[in-house]
Amino acid sequence: MVMPLALLEKSLDKKVSLLLKDGRVLEGKLTGYDEFMNMVIDDTVESFQEGEGRRLGVVVLRGNNVVSISIV
């Protein structure tokens, strides 16, 4: 059994891919999170589906906009 937040803990400083409710995908390095699944992502690149990425740098993401987090 792996608790969801424990998996985030193990994924710190690793690359993750986040699917947001509005269909956007953010990729970057997970450098922090809290119990609401708010997250801090470094070197964030944003894309809609498979399109060209836009660089966003350091991003704080509100957990209630996140659908899923893939460890990549």
Which residue in 15, 22, 25, 51 binds a second copy (CB under 8 A)?
A: 22
Long-range contacts formed by 38-45: CB under 8 A, 24+ apart: 38/62, 38/63, 39/8, 39/63, 39/66, 39/69, 41/16
Which residue in 25, 27, 40, 47 binds a second copy (CB under 8 A)?
A: 40
Other C-beta atoms closer than 10 Å to the C-beta of 48 total 12
Tell the smallest beta-carbon distance from residue 44 to a second copy (Å).
Answer: 8
Residue 51 found at the interface with a second copy (CB under 8 A): no
Catalog residues that contact a second copy under the rule CB under 8 A: 1-8, 12, 20-23, 26, 31-34, 37-40, 44, 56-72
